Amino acid sequence: MSAPVRTRTVTWEDPQRLAEAAVTMSGPDFFAALAKGELPRPPVAELLDFTATSTGDGEAVFVMEPAEFHYNPLGTVHGGVLATVLDSALGCAVQTKLPPGAGYTTLELKVNYVRPVTTASGPLRCVGRVLHLGRRTATAEARIEDAAGRLCAHATTTCMVLEATPQPTAPATAAGS
């Protein structure tokens, strides 16, 4: 007799709206619009079912409830899932410090796994904090803790800061043309 099959349906909105907003808004304004529901959740957050609960000056907090669909063949949450949540908190922490039009991309991600995570771990909390923000690079650190406050994984990142690109302006027309 086989075990019952489990299913999961994932829906998301067009991510282009997020991409366009990210390059026109400051980091704080972008996250405020997300929190108010004015912008859709990122597709990766829908797929892996994690949520940003707060963002502030150089900090981003995410939560995730471990589920079976996060599991690897060994019966624990796959390290790539935890790395994705860490990378998201790290990058969003950097984004909170950026002016309108500026962006970032992850150059390097270093993850340390401290203990296995399962559904018995309870809700996970991931906090990312900026350590340094320069003109061209930023560094940040993040921690994932389980419901008991035990460290499960931690990470550091180096991000490339992408300068705001000037928007083209319409050419001036001569009077009387």
Query: Does residue 125 sit within a domain?
Result: yes
Query: Does residue 170 sit within a domain?
Result: no
CATH number of the domain within which 60 lies: 3.10.129.10
Query: Does residue 72 sit within a domain?
Result: yes
| Residue at token pair 């790290």 | 90
Query: Does residue 134 sit within a domain?
Result: yes
Query: Does residue 176 sit within a domain?
Result: no
How many other β-carbons are positioned within 10 Å of the β-carbon of residue 26?
16
Query: Does residue 90 sit within a domain?
Result: yes
Question: Structural domain of residue 60, as residue ranges?
Answer: 16-162
Summarize pLDDT for 41-75 with one digit per residue, the tens: 999 999 999 999 999 999 999 999 999 999 999 99
Query: Does residue 8 sit within a domain?
Result: no
CA 50, distance to chain mean position in Å, is 9
Query: Does residue 177 sit within a domain?
Result: no
What pLDDT is stored for residue 177 in this prediction?
A: 43
Among candidates 154, 153, 112, which has minimal Cα distance to 131? 154
What pLDDT is stored for residue 166 in this prediction?
A: 60
pTM of the full structure: 0.90
Give the CA distances from residue 110 to residues 27, 41, 60, 79, 176, in Å, rounded to whole numbers and listed in that order.
24, 26, 18, 12, 62
DSSP character for 177?
-
Strand, helix or coil for residue 71: strand
| Number of domains observed in the structure of the chain | 1
Which residue ranges in the chain fall short of pLDDT 70? 165-177
